[in-house]
Amino acid sequence: MAPMMGPTDVNGRTADERLLRAVRFERPDRIPVSMGINKACWHHYPQAALQDLMTVHPLLFPDYEPQPLPVQPTYAPWRVAGEPYTDSWGCVWETVEDGITGAVTEPALPSWVGFAGYQAPNPECQNGWGVQDWAAEATRIAGARERGRLARGSLRHGHTFLTLSYVRGYEALMFDMADGEPRLWDLIAMVESFNTDLLRHYLDLGVGWIGFPEDLGMQRGPMLSPRHFRTYIQPAYRRMMVSAREGGCVVHMHSDGDIRLLAEDLLACGIDVLNVQDLVNGIDWQVENLKGRVCIDLDIDRQRVTRFGTPDQIDALVREAVTKLGNPDGGLVLHHDLMPGLPLENVAGLMDAMEHYA
């Protein structure tokens, strides 16, 4: 039996233990459920109401402690509206909503003219977004381990393919791949080397879970062809993920969007947990192609039912996902990232449904 980790809930389990049992298909007592609250939510919803919902849903928020009101969140510099931000790679970002990551408005290398003098960030003090304080990370990870918690590390969201698109611009990157631009291989090697150094730091600090978050899908289909993914991106994925697994880590891969055409290539990289969206990929498709092969970290809809439906329709959606994808042995996790826009009654209905069907 896995060791107990952190404070237990009413069932005598911890969120970490339950999660690892689900990932390893070791018959968790419940389906692990979690919800992220985007910081922008604190200026879109009545704060007391949002805090009350978090307080009465302990499965979703096991460590939550109410904060003094009003909550005044601080935002990462690339999530501050009206203030352009230059990341570690030299890409300029802008957002129109505090708390929401915006878009690159100025790629670092819109042409290859400046590539000869272009350098990767220093992984000893940079993480892709900005400054990386490894001493603080070491303290955080050691503290988690001392408390019996699952110590986690992660590359930045958009670590490989999206970083290439930020540096070159998406359209230019697509032409680079189509044209077989030889300098692209040097840029890919630069990005992989940087990520590998970050990964090595986390492994040296003793994490047990590594996140590889990177959106590869659009509303319909992936952002690059399967052939280009296999040629340019998959080899780096596989090397990094194999390294993480050999270091004793759970490998968690996240992608928004429709990634059905890339699924087999992603699984071949050695993923333990695949965080995938429900409706854009289809629950039935996941039953046929993913269930039992990988732990599905199901990203509950943020576009249709939860935004425009009713609490009863939300309940039916969560029930369908659990009925079709659930298995007593494990292999299913439910997650939702709350963004501004959902009616508050739908937020409450979603929280209720996730905890009920867990």
> Phi-psi category of 6—alpha, beta or left, where left has phi over 0 and alpha has psi -120 to 50?
left
Q: How far apart are CA 301 and CA 314, in angstroms?
A: 9
**Other C-beta atoms lying within 10 Å of the C-beta of residue 92:** 16
pLDDT tens profile 106-119: 999 999 999 999 99
Residue 266: pLDDT over 60: yes
Considering the entire predicted model, what is its pTM? Answer: 0.94
Token duo for residue 263: 């699924």
Give the CATH number of domain 15-73+110-357: 3.20.20.210
pLDDT in tens, 181-240: 999 999 999 999 999 999 999 999 999 999 999 999 999 999 999 999 999 999 999 999
Question: What residue type is assigned to position 351 of the chain?
Answer: M
Mean pLDDT of 339-353: 97
d(CA 111, CA 171): 12
**CA–CA distance, 355 with 358 (Å, rounded to integer):** 5
pLDDT at 58: 95
Amino acid present at 272: D
Rounded CA-CA distance 354/318 in Å is 7
CA distance 201 to 347: 38
Cα–Cα nearest to 15, from 31, 27, 1: 31
Decide: 15 and 6 in contact? Cβ < 8 Å: yes
Give the dihedral sign, CA 164/168/171/174.
negative
Query: In the chain, where are the structural domains located?
Result: 15-73+110-357, 75-106
